[in-house]
């Protein structure tokens, strides 16, 4: 064993880092999946499905009990009335994404929200028809965008502009994105990109992209699935037109949890904007006057993009999640996330003869909690071996392992143990 390898086997430094970190782990507030041998798994999959906050159960139970006790009266008389359940997330949700409360609403799921928002923010007119997105974009986003174009009689082949990394690179260059926006100028209707790319974990410069999009006269929005709860966002300040995120990744609100949407105040108060309508987007004062006042009057806030009454059971765990983000604060969590990710990167990059590279940018402004590891050789087999040692992560064919050391429940010691496994599987000693 070399000196570096023996250092790698020794967890003392990692344990010390866990002990002294100024933002302590909240690990004891989460249910940790166990390995077959009864040890907590090294759960690095918070970028896919976050762990269950222990307090989530009581919020779900509360609704089940209120429903049992009250029936329909739970809408008004529940401990948290169902009628206004979406409203309880407004302030915390706004703080999470750097928005004003009127700009944020929790509703539906992510792709559904993107559809609803594109109805308002993709308005092709005259020669301004093009839609710019990144490559690779998440498939659901591509299907969503292409279906919007087709539904307006436009061929995606001609009207979707995809901007990808340069040949041989993994990540996008900001100046290439800005240049593409400028080049398409007055033919560009909408720019929509992943704030943090699902594959590489690259965080893009949302402020600069929004400014460039607006200079071109386009609407600008972001898919924030991998950004919300991962990196600090200032959606209002950056002047972003629209955004949407899911709540099951970094936000730990559970599988299929209710998603979020952002609409900038200048649009949120614009009752004249075209949108798909349903009764929950209507002014609450007339919502129950039903046939007596049956014309749609949008609420002057992001709430007006709601369609149906809130699915409260799928929303309840979000209370546990947002309470946690709010009490610790996104900036504190971000600082811990950067320390964990930087530590893990250093450990991985010091593996002698490593047969992998990290495709996530190293600049702290360009990544969140995820490191994407591109491995040589039979990646699937090697990933299977690592999984069998108690790591929960994910694999994206052909050769990317995505690892997310999240600030809320991962530790330096877990990063250290994972690096040892990678050294064994992909280092020169194998």
Contact residues: ligand PLP, CB under 6 A: 109-111, 138, 140-141, 194, 198, 223, 225-226, 246, 259
**Residue with smaller CB distance to ligand PLP, 27 or 115:** 115
Q: How far is the CB of 325 from ligand PLP (least distance, A)?
A: 19
- DSSP class of residue 135 equals S
C-alpha span between 82 and 72 (Å, rounded): 10
Q: How far is the CB of 297 from ligand PLP (least distance, A)?
A: 29
Q: How far is the CB of 192 from ligand PLP (least distance, A)?
A: 11
Tokens 């969503």 belong to residue: 144
C-alpha span between 410 and 51 (Å, rounded): 11
C-alpha span between 207 and 403 (Å, rounded): 26
Cβ atoms of 262 and 235 within 8 Å: the answer is yes
* Closest among 234, 216, 138, 128 to 178, alpha carbons compared: 216
Cβ atoms of 256 and 248 within 8 Å: the answer is yes
**Residue with smaller CB distance to ligand PLP, 259 or 382:** 259
**Residue with smaller CB distance to ligand PLP, 50 or 74:** 50
Q: How far is the CB of 170 from ligand PLP (least distance, A)?
A: 17
Q: How far is the CB of 48 from ligand PLP (least distance, A)?
A: 7
**Residue with smaller CB distance to ligand PLP, 198 or 356:** 198
37 exposed, middle or buried (CB, 10 Å; 0-12, 13-18, 19+)?
A: exposed
- Collapsing DSSP to helix, strand or coil, 57 comes out as helix
Q: How far is the CB of 223 from ligand PLP (least distance, A)?
A: 5
**Residue with smaller CB distance to ligand PLP, 393 or 425:** 393
**Residue with smaller CB distance to ligand PLP, 109 or 252:** 109
* Closest among 209, 236, 258, 227 to 334, alpha carbons compared: 227
**Residue with smaller CB distance to ligand PLP, 92 or 200:** 200
* Closest among 338, 344, 337, 343 to 418, alpha carbons compared: 344
C-alpha span between 347 and 131 (Å, rounded): 41
Cβ atoms of 188 and 217 within 8 Å: the answer is yes
**Residue with smaller CB distance to ligand PLP, 222 or 383:** 222
**Residue with smaller CB distance to ligand PLP, 92 or 111:** 111
Q: What is the CA radius of gyration of the chain?
A: 23
CA–CA distance from 183 to each of 59, 171, 187, 215 (Å)? 50, 20, 9, 12
Cβ atoms of 408 and 340 within 8 Å: the answer is no
Q: How far is the CB of 66 from ligand PLP (least distance, A)?
A: 27
Q: Which residue is nearest to ligand PLP (CB)?
A: 111
What residues contact 378, with CB distance under 8 A and at least 6 apart? none
**Residue with smaller CB distance to ligand PLP, 195 or 213:** 195
- DSSP state string for 370-385: -EEEEESS-HHHHHHH
Q: How far is the CB of 246 from ligand PLP (least distance, A)?
A: 4
Q: How far is the CB of 112 from ligand PLP (least distance, A)?
A: 7
Q: How far is the CB of 131 from ligand PLP (least distance, A)?
A: 16
Q: How far is the CB of 164 from ligand PLP (least distance, A)?
A: 16
**Residue with smaller CB distance to ligand PLP, 321 or 423:** 321
C-alpha span between 204 and 12 (Å, rounded): 35
C-alpha span between 209 and 221 (Å, rounded): 10
């Amino acid at each position: 064993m070399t000196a570096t390898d023996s250092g790698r086997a020794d967890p003392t430094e990692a344990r010390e880092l866990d002990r002294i970190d100024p933002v302590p782990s909240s690990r004891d507030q989460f249910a940790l999946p166990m390995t077959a041998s009864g040890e907590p798994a090294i759960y690095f999959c918070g970028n896919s499905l976050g762990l269950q906050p222990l307090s989530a159960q009581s919020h779900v139970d509360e609704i089940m009990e209120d429903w049992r006790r009250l029936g329909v009266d739970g809408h008004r008389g529940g401990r948290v009335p169902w009628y206004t359940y979406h409203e309880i997330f407004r302030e915390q949700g706004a703080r999470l994404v750097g928005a004003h409360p009127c700009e944020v609403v929790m509703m539906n799921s992510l792709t559904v929200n993107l559809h609803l928002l594109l109805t308002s923010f993709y308005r092709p007119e005259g020669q301004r028809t093009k839609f710019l997105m990144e490559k690779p974009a998440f498939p659901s986003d591509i299907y969503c965008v292409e279906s919007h174009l087709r539904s307006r009689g436009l061929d995606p082949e001609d009207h979707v502009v995809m901007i990808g990394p340069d040949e041989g690179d993994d990540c996008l260059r900001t100046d290439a994105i800005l240049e593409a926006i400028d080049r398409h100028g007055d033919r560009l209707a909408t720019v929509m990109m992943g704030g943090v790319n699902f594959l590489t974990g690259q965080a893009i410069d949302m402020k600069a992209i929004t400014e460039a999009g607006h200079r071109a006269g386009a609407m600008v929005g972001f898919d924030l699935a991998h950004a919300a709860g991962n990196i600090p966002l200032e959606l209002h300040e950056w002047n972003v037109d629209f955004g949407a995120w899911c709540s099951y990744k970094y936000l730990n609100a559970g599988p299929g949890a209710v998603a979020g949407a952002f609409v900038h105040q200048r649009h949120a108060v614009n009752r004249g904007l075209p949108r798909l309508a349903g009764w929950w987007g209507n002014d609450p004062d007339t919502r129950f006057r039903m046939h007596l006042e049956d014309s749609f009057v949008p609420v002057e806030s992001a709430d007006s993009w709601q369609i149906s009454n809130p699915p409260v059971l799928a929303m309840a765990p979000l209370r546990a999640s947002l309470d946690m983000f709010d009490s610790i604060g996104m900036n504190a969590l971000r600082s811990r996330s950067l320390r964990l990710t930087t530590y893990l990167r250093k450990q991985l990059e010091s593996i002698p003869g490593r047969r992998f590279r990290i495709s996530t940018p190293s600049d702290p402004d360009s990544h969140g909690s995820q490191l994407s590891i591109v491995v040589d050789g039979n990646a699937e087999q090697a990933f299977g071996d690592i999984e069998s040692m108690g790591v929960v992560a994910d694999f994206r064919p052909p050769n990317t392992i995505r690892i997310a050391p999240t600030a809320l429940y991962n530790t330096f010691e877990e990063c250290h143990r994972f690096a040892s496994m990678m050294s064994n599987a992909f280092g020169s000693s194998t």
